[in-house]
Structures are given as C-alpha cells and as structure tokens.
Amino acid sequence: MKFSKATNYALHTMLFLISEAPDKPVGVQHLAEKQGVSPAYLSKILTKLVKSGLIDSVSGANGGYTLGAQRKDVSFLDVIHAIEGTASLFNCCLNGEKECLIQKVMVSAEKAMEEKLKMQKIVELDLGP
Amino acid sequence: MKFSKATNYALHTMLFLISEAPDKPVGVQHLAEKQGVSPAYLSKILTKLVKSGLIDSVSGANGGYTLGAQRKDVSFLDVIHAIEGTASLFNCCLNGEKECLIQKVMVSAEKAMEEKLKMQKIVELDLGP
DNA sequence: GCGTGATTACTCGGATACAAGATGTCCGAGTTTGAGCGG
DNA sequence: CCGCTCAAACTCGGACATCTTGTATCCGAGTAATCACGC
C-alpha cells in the first residue's frame, strides 16, 4: 500500500512541463536527467500520460513531450489515475454476503482522499503560496 | 497502490470477534474457515494485531484469539496501521530540493483519508442501521 | 538555388530481466486443557 | 478420590516456496528535422 515511484516521476514531470516549458516540446532525456531516472523508464511512464490525454508527444528530431490543450485543468488525481489506474483501492472479495459494510467504509474514505486530490490542480503549485 | 488482502482479512476478523465473540477466545481455524483462508496465513496476520495490542492471544487447548480490553475504541485506522505500517504512502525521494510541494499535497490528501478511517470505529458496524 | 536522399535525433512499443513485496505453506517449540492411570 | 503423567489441541515464530507487481533495460520500428550532395 504505497504510491509507486512512477507516480512521483509523473507528477514531477507534469510540474516541470507546466512551470518551465508550456509550449516547446521537451525531450525525455532532459526530463530524466532532472529526476535522476533512466530515460527509457520515464518514457514508458509518460506514454501512459499521453494515452490519458494529459500531455502530447511530438515525434522526430527536436521532438519530446508537451502539454496538452487543457493544461490548466490537470489535477493530481488525473495524473494518479493515469498511472495507478482507477480501480478501487480495496475490494472485499468475500463471497456471497451481498454488500460488505467494511468495503463501504473503505471506499468512502478513499473518496475523501480523491476529493482532495481532485481539487488540487498542478498549475496552482507553480505560483507559490 | 492497493490495500493488501491481509488488511481485508484483519478487518473481517476484528468485526467477527466484536460482533459474535466478545469474550471467548476463537481458534484460528474457525476464523480461517469463515473467510476461506489458510489458517497458517491468517495466524501470521493476527500476530500483527496482537503485537499492536488490538487483540490478545490465548495459548494452549481451547485457546485462540480474543478481544483486548479497549475493544470499543478500535478504529479502521488502527487495524490498517497494524497491518500496512504507519509510513507515509508517498515519499518524494528527490534529492536536495529542501521541501517538495508535491509531497506536501500528497501527504495532506492522505491525512484526509486517515481522518475518516480514524473516526470510524469497527464496533459501530455491528449494530448497523 | 533547389530538390532528393541520407543521416541524425527523437518517440513508441514490445520483449525481457531483475527485485521486492504480498501471499501462502511447513515445521518445530512452547503452553494449556483434559483424560487416563496408579495410588 | 486425589495427584501425577501424558497426550491432544492450540498458538508462536521462523524458514521456506510461490506469485504478482513495480522497476528498469534493451532493441527494432517509425517519424520528422536537418544536413549533404548533385543537378
């Protein structure tokens, strides 16, 4: 029960793109150096963000990754869902038992966290407190 | 990023002990059958709950697991912390950078979930609406 | 000067390797209950 | 009837085996910009 490093990399990449390179595409090598990750691995992570529509990729020379159109709206939850998936953090997997009260409580608590993460847009971090 | 099955088993065991056997010790075999788990594995999980002081174990024949003294106060968060640990779900692990804004947001959201789980006592589920 | 091809700098996707943690099993050791047996 | 011993029913703890998932690497394919060359 931990957030993966991939989520960490994805969030930092988004923050960097928004704050320092809103227009020009940035190569994966540059992004990887900033965070001390292997470019190949970061590329794999960013592909997920592309498929979720959070960023765009530009092929060819001078290519790289760039922000999508609606960049102002990207929330923490968007990034997390793109990387970790949208499945519930808890599933009871106990047979018949119709509805599991424990499951209900867990899902409710999970929603509380997601609500916070949905409210927080990444762009808000750029311009400090 | 998912809650482990162990947490699920632990929560169900706590609920069972509170609702159906507040005094008598219950053998791990009986508890395991109820949930379709191997007794050996469940025993390993319950040992964590014992070490955290949430339940007591009774050795010898007719032994088993029984509720501790302050059973009314056990919350979801207590059980989860006993099984999953109390470490933060997210750590930035990005070098110098003094304080990471992303880390702050994540921890804050995590706290929101924990607050909900701390409020919800397991005993409250027993007498459901 | 200009088109055409080759080179270069990129991303994309799949295949693969590696490590760590979750899950599950097995067995020996210690502990208590209860039954059996001898006095 | 009493006390002793012994077996049975338990948990405890560690050591293992397995399986999934996260982490990471490598390479071939495709694509776009740029450079080189020849006309």
| Residue B93 belongs to domain with CATH number | 1.10.10.10
CB atoms within 10 A of CB A15: 18
Residue A84, C-beta contacts closer than 8 angstroms, at least 6 positions apart: A3, A4, A7, B1
CB B90 within 8 A of CB A76: no
Please give, rounded to a whole number of angstroms, the shortest distance from the CA of B58 to a CA of chain A. 27
| pLDDT for residue B127 | 57
Structural domains of chain B, count: 1
Considering only CB atoms, which chain B residues are within 8 Å of A4? Answer: 1
What's the CA–C1' distance between A7 and C9, in Å?
Answer: 28
| pLDDT for residue A40 | 95
Residues A67-77 have pLDDT tens digits of 876 677 899 99
Q: Tell me which protein residue sits closest to nucleotide D9, measuring alpha carbon to C1'.
A: B61
Residues of chain B with pLDDT under 70: 69-70, 94-98, 126-129
Q: State the pTM of this model.
A: 0.90
Give per-10-residue mean pLDDT for chain A (129 aa): 94 92 89 93 96 93 85 90 94 72 94 96 74
| pLDDT for residue B95 | 61
Instruction: Show which positions of strand D are touched by protein (CB under 7 A).
Output: 8-15, 22-27, 30-34
| pLDDT for residue B90 | 94
What's the CA–C1' distance between B60 and C30, in Å?
Answer: 9
Containing structural domain, residue A30: 5-126
CA distance A58 to B85: 42
Q: Which of the 8 DSSP states describes residue A71? A: G
The gap between the terminal CA atoms of chain B, to the nearest Å, is 32
A41 C-beta less than 7 Å away from strand D: yes
